[in-house]
Structure 1
Amino acid sequence: MTSIHCGWLYGSIYRTKLRKLFSLPAAPCGDHPVHGFCCLCSLTQEYRELKNRGADPSIGWEANVNKWKREGLKPPITLPTMER
C-alpha cells in the first residue's frame, strides 16, 4: 500500500537523473517538491523534454540508446533549460 503513495518519490529520482544527463537546472525548486505537488505536470514536462531532444519515451531508454548508436548519434544534449 505504501508503494502507491510513494510514486512521486520514484518520479523525482528519475527527474534528477534526467536533469543531470541534460545539465538542466533545478529551478524554480527541487525535484522532490515538483513531483510531490504536481506529479502529472512534472511527468508531462519530462515527456516533452525527451521528445524535444529526439527520444521516443514509448520505447524506453535502452531502445533509444540502441537507436542512436545504430544511427551514429550521441544522446542529444542541448541548452540547459527545460523546454515547453
Structure 2
Amino acid sequence: MNSSLPNEDKDKAPQTTNGTQIVPAAAPSSDSDSDSDSSKGVAGPSSQYVVGVPPQQAMAPTWSTGLFECFDDIPTFIITTFAPCVTFGQIAEMVDRGQNSCGLYAFLYVVILYFTGCGCLLSAYYRIKMSHLYKLPDDPIINILVHLICEPCALCQEHRELQARGFNMKLGAGWRNQSPEIQQSGGLMVPPKIPEEMTR
C-alpha cells in the first residue's frame, strides 16, 4: 500500500516544459459535460493540462520609411537639399492641419535660419509634434539630434511619412486640396502594415 503513495504524489506534482509550468486541470464533473464540450469544439474540463501562453507584445511604433531612404523620392530630396524651408513649410502645414499656409511656415524657417543659423530647431519641434500626433518614436533628444546632424534626411522622412498616410504632398496642394477623409482624420487612419510572412 505504501508503494503506491509516491506514484500518486508524482502525478499530482506540477510538470514543467521549456520553462513553462503545466498545471493539471480539474477533474471532469460528469461524462455528459465532457461529451457536450468536445462536440462544441471547446476545450473544457476534459483536457488534461492547461499551458500558460505569454501575452503578445505590442509592436513598437516605427516610421513608414527609414531615415536614409531619401533617394526613394528624388524630387523632394533635391528641393529639400537646396530649399529646406519649402519642405518644412509643407510638413508644418499638414501637422497643424492648415492653421497657417506653407509660405508662412517657410518664411519663419528662413527668418530663424538667418538670425540664429539654426532653422533646424523649428523643424525639430515639428518632428516632435508629429511624433506625438501619429504615435511615432517620440524621444525628443533623438528627434533634435536627427535634425541637427542631418536636416535634409529628417525632412524627407517626415515628408514621406505624410505621403504614406494619404496626404497629397505635391507643391501647391496645401491643406485645402486634401481629401475630405484626410481633413477629418488628419492622417491618423493609416492601413496597418502586414508582416511579410502573412503575405505569402
Q: Structure 2 residue aligned with 1:49, among 154, 157, 161? A: 161
Larger radius of gyration: 2
Q: CA RMSD in A?
A: 2.8
Relative to 1, partners in 2 of residues 1:25 and 1:37: Cα closer, same or farther, differing over 3 Å?
same
Q: Which residue of the partner structure matches residue 32 of structure 1?
A: 144
**Higher relative contact order, chain-length normalized (CA < 8 Å, sep 6+):** 1
Name the structure with the higher strand share: 2
Residue 11 of structure 1 corresponds to 123
Q: Which residue of 2 aligns with 1:82?
A: none
Per-residue CA deviation, residues 23-63 of structure 1 (Å, 9 max, x unaligned), is 00136x62110000000000000000000100123433x42
Task: Quote the Cα distance in structure 2 between the aligned partners of 1:23 and 1:44.
Answer: 18
| Structure in which a larger fraction of residues adopt helix | 1
Q: Equivalent residue for 2:4?
A: none
2:129 is the alignment partner of 1:20: no
> What amino acid does structure 1 have at the position aligned with 2:119?
G
Q: Give, as a single letter, the amino acid of the residue that structure 1 aligns with 2:144.
A: H
- Percent identical among aligned pairs is 31
Task: Give the length in aligned residue pairs.
Answer: 75
Please state if 1:63 is matched with 2:172.
no
Structure 1 residue runs of 5 or longer lacking an equivalent are 80-84
TM, length-normalised to structure 2: 0.32
2:135 alignment partner, SS class: coil
How much has 1:76 moved relative to structure 2?
2.8
How many Å apart are 1:73 and its aligned residue? 4.9
Query: Relative to structure 1, is the Cα distance of residues 72 and 9 closer, same or farther in structure 2, using a 3 angstrom cutoff?
Result: closer
SS of 2:176's partner is: helix
**How far off is 1:72 after superposition?**
8.0
Q: TM-score, normalised by structure 1?
A: 0.69
1:36 & 1:47 partners in 2: Cα distance?
Answer: 17
